[in-house]
Structure 1
Amino acid sequence: MTAGGSGDAKASGEDLLIARLFEPIATHPGALGLKDDAALLSVPPGHELVLTKDALVAGVHFFADDPPEAIARKAMRVNLSDLAAKGAEPLGVLLAFAIPPEMDAAALTAFARGIGADASLYGAPLLGGDTVRTPGPFIVSITAFGVVPAGQMVRRATAKPDQAIVVSGTIGDAALGLALRLDPSRAGFAGLGEKAASFLKERYLLPRPRLALARALRGRASGAMDVSDGLVGDLTKMLAASGVAGEIEVDRVPLSPAARAAIKAEPALIETALTGGDDYEILAVMPDEELDAFTTFATAAGIGVSVIGRTQAGQGLTVRASNGAAMTFARGSFSHF
């Protein structure tokens, strides 16, 4: 995303777009006013870079008619969620997006406004990127940069046995929000009030990256990741990467009042909540002696945390239903492949 340097045939239209929409929000010195072919970023002494990248595609990760500002914020937040789970604090982002024919000037303005709003809210300044045209669909890709004190990044492959399995916030809201948008006449949603339905839809549209927990994870969690593809599937991935087993109890998984109401009306929706994804909550494993301090930190930040189970020696994940029976799922998590 540079104003110039990409060839005269492309430069005039792209330069005008960048100058109008993105230069005003790229105020970090390292962005170089978006006038160069690259950004310049300094890493604080004694720290290491943490890098992550996610791409979002219309019709896959969001609805094509979602508000452009919300699409921008979702793209920002899914990447910032990865940084949070690693114990990292944001340094900045690079943005690339492909503009389809139906995206007009007003939509682009709203999209840029969303990027700028979250860049300011989360301290993740826009540093550069690229813009292209496409016949469709709309595609957004963000690379996020963060820092951690050297040697303190929290990995997913280092969880230890005989420790607590902890999750932040509530699980299943976004997956239920998506299911609601796809089929509002389902039994679980037919009786939901407007407030509960709006809450579930918003949780799908606007994730809440738990950056406030990043510092608390460092030195406390033996392993962590964010829940993007579903609690069951992502926990299974972390346990497998770490070479340990785990067991969780469904009754201990935190659910919002809206999710509880939907599941009560249609019990089969519990599988959607546990495996559907888009939660963007923190999933961590930590020693019992760290739980009080972590919980105190989270409470001060206004974020709930719940212990949902334990790790153990062995392999695999067991999910216990209310009656103690092991649950099975048609699909453990969302997958593109």
Structure 2
Amino acid sequence: MAGNEFDLINHYFKTQPVSRKDVALGIGDDAAVISVPENSQLVVTTDSLVAGNHFLADADPVKVAHKALASNLSDLAAMGAIPAWCSLALTLPSPDEAWLKGFCEGFYKLAEYYNVQLVGGDTTKGPLSITITMQGFIPEGKAIRRDGASAGDWLYVSGNLGDSAAGLDVILKGNQPSNELEETLLNRHYYSTPRVLAGQALREVASAALDISDGLVADLKHILKASGVSAVINADTLPLSDELIAFAGSKEKAAHIALCSGEEYELCFTVPESHRGALDAALAHTNTPVTCIGQIRHGEGLQVLWEEQPVDWKLSGWDHFSE
């Protein structure tokens, strides 16, 4: 692949729809040169997606690209940051131009929507994998962290939960979706909506936040540990789509899926009582639905209730495509 690397870079990655004024030097040199806005802090995240673990090797590259970039955008959204630049490292078994064309289609469509410029990266030969490092910025001292939750804060999530896991179940059947319901859920697995504007709006409202990548139960525990608190989730209040309930067969089964479903790229965040009245106003321009699902308490641990009664459900985190 080495003999084709520069041709591939020039053909597929040097021409892109986003050209930011703060990029002094982008693709084509040893490194990028970027100007960071005054009185801002740089926010950096890296995610890798590996064929056979995060996506199937024969998956549509358009969808894979969206999923890969969305996961990084969601990390920045959880911090309240403004995404701006990214680099991309692609490992490919061979220089597959049809795959690259589809990948670039999905990648650039989402990148253009959020005004993210690709400023560098690398291509090499090996098992199919995608690694993206994204950089953004945030006003100094305004990043939303995981360690700010306090007893009495209210617990919220954005969007609906559980559709991604149901979509993955459809994918793992090994066949094409058999009906419109399965097709909808499959697309929701790949085409998540990073809550970038919502994250920025939450800077002055939320006390702690993260994005849901490994499942609500698994991810929320990171906030609880970092903040030294516990929480109660009212599972019967979880936001569930009609499609998920139909797929699961009941609201209770759908809620179980929603508690464990990963790669949602929705936000989980806490809001102090004193800021709760400002939440709707803060999010009004973002078109982001949010739902209160519980409360932060003193102590340690996480309790899940269904209609005010503790559940004995087996709740685990996200395991992607692992056996």
In the aligned structure 1, how far is the partner of 2:159 from the partner of 2:252? 21
* Contact 1:28–1:127 (8 Å) recurs in 2: no
Question: In structure 2, which of residues 310, 319, 323 is the aligned counterpart of residue 326 of structure 1?
Answer: 310
Aligned match of 2:151: 161
Amino acid at match of 1:234: D
Please state if 1:59 is matched with 2:52.
yes
Amino acid at match of 1:127: V
**1:264-275 counterparts in 2 under 5 A?**
264-265=249-250, 267-275=252-260
Aligned match of 2:14: 23
**Pairwise CA RMSD:** 2.2
Identity of aligned residues (%): 36
Q: Structure 1 residues 320 and 265 mapped into 2: Cα distance closer, same or farther (>3 Å)?
A: closer
Please state if 1:69 is matched with 2:54.
no
* Contact 1:90–1:145 (8 Å) recurs in 2: yes
Shift of 1:104: 2.0
Q: Structure 1 residues 33 and 244 mapped into 2: Cα distance closer, same or farther (>3 Å)?
A: closer
Question: In structure 1, which of residues 122, 141, 157 is the aligned counterpart of residue 114 of structure 2?
Answer: 122
Please state if 1:143 is matched with 2:133.
yes
In the aligned structure 1, how far is the partner of 2:133 from the partner of 2:236? 37
CA deviation profile, 1:236-294 (whole Å, cap 9, x unmatched): 22111110011010111101111122233595454332112111101000112323332
**1:1-337 counterparts in 2 under 5 A?**
10=2, 12-25=3-16, 27-28=19-20, 30=23, 32-101=25-94, 104-134=96-126, 136=127, 138-183=128-173, 194-265=179-250, 267-322=252-307, 324-335=308-319
In the aligned structure 2, how far is the partner of 1:167 from the partner of 1:193? 31
In the aligned structure 2, how far is the partner of 1:89 from the partner of 1:33? 19
In the aligned structure 2, how far is the partner of 1:326 from the partner of 1:230? 19
* Contact 1:56–1:75 (8 Å) recurs in 2: yes
* Contact 1:81–1:209 (8 Å) recurs in 2: yes
Amino acid at match of 2:285: A
In the aligned structure 1, how far is the partner of 2:178 from the partner of 2:219? 31
Amino acid at match of 2:169: A
Shift of 1:329: 4.0
In the aligned structure 2, how far is the partner of 1:229 from the partner of 1:53? 15
In the aligned structure 2, how far is the partner of 1:112 from the partner of 1:274? 33
In the aligned structure 2, how far is the partner of 1:24 from the partner of 1:195? 36
Mean Cα deviation higher: 280-289 or 29-38: 29-38
- TM-score (normalizing by structure 1): 0.88
In the aligned structure 2, how far is the partner of 1:107 from the partner of 1:314? 50
SS in 2 for 1:300: coil
Shift of 1:194: 3.2
Shift of 1:148: 0.9
* Contact 2:45–2:133 (8 Å) recurs in 1: yes
- TM-score (normalizing by structure 2): 0.92
Q: Structure 1 residues 100 and 217 mapped into 2: Cα distance closer, same or farther (>3 Å)?
A: same
Structure 2: unaligned runs, 5 residues or longer = none
Q: Structure 1 residues 268 and 256 mapped into 2: Cα distance closer, same or farther (>3 Å)?
A: closer
In the aligned structure 2, how far is the partner of 1:299 from the partner of 1:199? 27
